[in-house]
Amino acid sequence: MYAQLGSVTFELKSVNGMEMSRAYNYAEHEIINGKPVLQFTGEGLEQLTLGIELHWAFCEPSVEIKRLHVQAESHEILPMTFASGEHAGNYVLCNIQQTVTQTDSEGRLVFAAVILTLKECPEKITIQKEIKKQMENAPGIASGLAPVSARSVPTSAAGFPRTNYLAIVRQAAIAE
């Protein structure tokens, strides 16, 4: 075994190559009469591209391709583990590109090259937890706020609290 994505196992003889990429995101702010200024906004998600070759000598290519499509259509977050035991992270299967290289005289698939695109799926962080964490770490803002009971916070149709961020900033400025 070379690697395993969820319940799908990739054998070394079938893996053709693997690429990993990660972006680092920057916002660009325009400046009057000058060059734009960049601001780091965070890391992008890791993308893994895995090339595999499926041949009837060691598997049934059409069945393996169907298994991959079923896995992708499940929209599940899948753990990626290498044969060494290293857990590479959790991914979703975003794209399956298939090239039929050879068929038999009756049109059955003999050899196919498949490229899988996986996107990193980090642990879920709720927006509310992230806002709370940022407010706790922001000096002078959280200290001046009066506690608000959960019942007094209006919510949107989706159930998320409606927060008036401008009022929070004004209240923090008054408290200082």
- Lowest mean pLDDT: which of 33-37, 52-56, 128-132, 139-143? 139-143
Q: For the residues 165-176, what does the mean pLDDT come to? A: 57
pLDDT tens for 92-127 read: 999 999 999 898 899 889 999 999 999 998 876 556
| The pLDDT value given to residue 9 | 79
Q: What's the rounded Cα separation, in Å, for the pair 6 and 115?
A: 17
As a whole number of angstroms, the distance between CA 106 and CA 99 comes to 18
Instruction: Enumerate domains of the chain plus CATH numbers.
Output: 3-120 (2.40.30.200), 127-175 (no CATH)
3-state DSSP call for residue 154? coil
137-154 confidence digits (pLDDT tens):
766 554 444 444 444 445
SS3 81: strand
Residue whose C-alpha is closest to residue 116's, from 80, 168, 153: 80
Instruction: Report the share of the chain in percent with pLDDT over 90.
Output: 35
d(CA 85, CA 12): 15
- Residues paired with 53 in a beta bridge: 113
- Report pLDDT for 34: 93
Give bridge partners of residue 101 from the DSSP assignment: none
Cβ pair 118, 92 in contact under 8 A? yes
Beta bridge partners of 44: none
Q: Which residue, chain included where needed, has tokens 């803002």? A: 141
